[in-house]
Amino acid sequence: MTNQSLKKQSEGVRLQVLVVVVGVLLLIAKFVAFFLTNSNAILTDALESIINVVAGAFSLYSLILSAQPRDENHPYGHGKIEFIASTLEGSMIMVAGGVIIIKSVLNLFAPVPLHQLDLGILLVAISGAVNYGIGMLTERKGRANNSLVLIAGGKHLKSDAYSTVGILLGLLLIYLTGLVWLDSAVAILFGAIIGFTGYKILRSSVAGIMDEADYELLKHIVQVLNENRRVNWIDIHNLRVIKYGSTLHIDCHLTVPWYLNVLEAHDEVEAVGKLIRSKIDPDIELFIHTDPCIAPSCAICSNKACDVRLHPFKERVNWDLEKVIADRKHSLY
């Protein structure tokens, strides 16, 4: 693992510690606001803060664990724990959304009086602003470090802030009109939004656990390879990417001239690895299998130095996603 990778992981852990500490403080502030006002809408915010703290603590643990070096029992490292952390967070958010909706529906039929809305509005507004700032920072760092945990946590905090804005508007409307039933209506709306946010996080983490193809990443890799291909790279096929937390593992088949010796073929493999690490991510792991060219390869091979070709060169085939992920050598047919 490179020094840059270790630095990224250390930054992620420190940031997640900040998220947990701030989450605890905001949790206290929101429950104080709820007890002062008796508002379901504010309770919506407070319940989500419980999830922020619990999920944030588990995410912190997962980041610490994923930073551990690989061992005999975990030859690919511990990065998959990040997907489990995101799954837990998404599930908890969905449950919270359901609880909020159920309680608010009940309170539509049995409304409760509200108190001190002005002070509650102030506390919730401050909490929302802090949440958005921390969420934006966390998501940006997560994308920079390729960490699903930080990205999921940042999105959650930002969605919490968006919900807070809506809740504040609802509370202001209640404060101005005195219509108590609006409190439960606002809570139902944002309970549904919170639940949907949880579903998206859960969907993303399950995709990681199931090694679902990341087509945007694959397209980027194919573009880099196509723009920087060497004459002995006749084609690259059966390209696959597996994510272990923030670490990417890529395997593929590289077709090279059949007459290259082992050392020469190895040099071509090293060139592919160096290119991808320099253009995509320096910590990417690559497993590249070399294939010998075959007769149909001659038509797309532009190697003018080849004196054993069976057919003349016809045209250069641009590599695209469909060709590169397929498990077959390229040809014109």
In this prediction, residue 3 carries a pLDDT of 58
CATH superfamily of the domain spanning 215-325 = Cation efflux protein, cytoplasmic domain (3.30.70.1350)
In this prediction, residue 5 carries a pLDDT of 59
DSSP tag of 110: S
Give me the residues paired with residue 235 across strands: 255
Could you please report the per-residue DSSP string of 276-332? HHHHT-TT-EEEEEEEE--GGGGGG---TT-S--SS----PPPP-HHHHHSSS----
Could you please report the per-residue DSSP string of 55-66? HHHHHHHHHHHH
Residue corresponding to tokens 């695209």: 320
pTM: 0.57
- pLDDT tens for 24-37 read 998 898 888 888 88
**238 φ, ψ to 5°?**
55, 40
The answer to whether 300 touches 234, Cβ cutoff 8 Å, is yes
Give the residue with greater pLDDT, 284 vs 222: 222
Domain 3-209 bears CATH identifier 1.20.1510.10: yes
- pLDDT tens for 280-330 read 877 788 899 999 999 999 999 988 888 899 889 998 888 988 889 898 998
Residue 74, CA distances (Å) to 7, 66, 71, 154 in order: 22, 11, 5, 28
The domain segmentation of the chain, as residue ranges, is 3-209, 215-325
Q: Which amino acid belongs to residue 139?
A: E
Sequence-ordered list of residues with C-beta below 8 angstroms from that of 122, at least 6 positions apart, any chain: none
Which of the given ranges, 14-18, 142-146, 189-193, 301-305, has the highest pLDDT on average?
A: 301-305
Q: Which of 190, 243, 206, 188 is nearest to 91 (CA)?
A: 206
